[in-house]
Amino acid sequence: MRPSEKLRTLLAQPGMIIMPAIWDGLTAKLTYEAGFKTAFMSGSCVSAARLGGPDLDLIAVGEMQDAFNQIRGAAPDLLVLADADHGYGNAMNVQRTVRAYGRAGAAAILIEDKITPRALTSAGKPTLSREEAQMKIRAAVEAAKESGILVMARTDCRPTLGIDEAVARIEMFADEGADILFLDSPADNDEIKRAIAAAKGKPSFVVLSPGAPRATPGQKEAEELGFKIATYPTAMLSPVVGAIREGLEALKAGNAEANSALEPSELRDALGYDDYETQAARFII
């Protein structure tokens, strides 16, 4: 069964699906070992890990696809929703991007309606016209037929064009055949309910990490509102940044490691040394 078919099966089951936000082989491996069947390859997390910088469309398609290949190699059974940003160009670029992720084994792919290239500011999220956005999602859905990869359509137009336009785009994307819908930056629960209704029974996706200027319900409330998939982009990234800083401070203080460091045997186990020895033993002459 293809990854996309496995994800469809999960989506048909009751309850909300939590997709931890991952960015490399290690985060994918640990996520799968923790019992999660699915994960979200987050563009913000990949940008942080690769560039040491913010998620402002600086990451390139090759870097994102390389990150996905690392994830797939480390956790081949993990069902991954791949963040493909704006598709890296026009509708034809979108098709190439969708086909590439489908062939590589992604279960689903995110395509958004933000304008590219981005204006030289971190403020705001200018979006394409409704007609251009429609063609991008139409192109993505068409290209997805090759592999069966699910298409998640995201609109970022709420802050600049208002909730009425955002809801209209969600409804339009659902009509175009998008499998999962995502309204970014809802202001309150009423807006959330409108967007979920506009999805016409198709799964809705939500970001539940705190800190951004948007309505951020708790996990239980999000499920009650009707969300099917939730992710937390800072849930692992923020503690990792904190742990790295703690480790560096420990070295500056003359210590070998921070108090939060794993025992050496626990770290070796997490990295799979024993599994390597077991596998390699089959080839020793």
Is the alpha carbon torsion for 208, 203, 125, 80 positive or negative?
positive
Task: Clarify whether residues 176 and 247 are in a common domain.
Answer: no
Confidence of residue 86 (pLDDT cuts 50, 70, 90): very high
Tell me, yes or no, whether 200 and 251 share the same domain: no
Average pLDDT, the chain: 96
Statement: residue 51 has pLDDT above 80? yes
The mean pLDDT of 193-204, rounded to a whole number, is: 98
For the stretch 124-135, pLDDT in tens is 789 999 999 999
Instruction: Tell me the percentage of the chain whose pLDDT exceeds 70.
Output: 100
Q: How many C-beta atoms lie closer than 10 Å to residue 113's C-beta?
A: 26
Helix (H) or strand (E) holding 111: strand 108-112
Residue 38: strand pairing partners: 79
**Could you give the 3-state DSSP secondary structure of residue 150?**
strand
Same domain, yes or no, for 230 and 259?
Answer: no
Q: Beta partners for 83?
A: 110
Q: Are residues 30 and 157 in the same domain?
A: yes
Task: State whether 61 and 145 are in the same domain.
Answer: yes
Q: At residue 233, does pLDDT exceed 90?
A: yes
Are 142 and 256 within one domain?
A: no
The pTM for the full model equals 0.96
Q: What is the pLDDT of residue 128?
A: 97
Q: Which domain holds residue 275?
A: 242-283
State which amino acid sits at residue 186.
P
Do 89 and 18 reside in the same domain of the chain?
Answer: yes
Binned at pLDDT 50, 70 and 90, residue 194 comes out as very high
**What confidence tens digit (pLDDT) does each residue in 146-167 have?**
999 999 999 999 999 999 999 9
Which of 152, 41, 140 is closest to 94 using CA atoms? 140
Indicate if 170 and 271 belong to the same structural domain.
Answer: no
Same domain membership, residue 199 and residue 105: yes
Q: Position 141: which residue type?
A: V
The average pLDDT across 254-272 equals 96
116: pLDDT strictly greater than 90 = no
Alpha helices in the chain (DSSP H): 3-11, 25-33, 43-51, 61-74, 91-104, 130-144, 158-161, 163-176, 189-198, 219-225, 234-252, 264-271, 273-280
pLDDT of residue 56: 93
* C-alpha distances out from residue 151 to 159, 173, 235, 281, Å: 23, 10, 24, 42
User: Which of 216, 234, 252 is the last residue before a domain boundary?
Assistant: 234
Question: Domain total for the chain?
Answer: 2
Q: Which structure tokens are listed for 115?
A: 């304008």
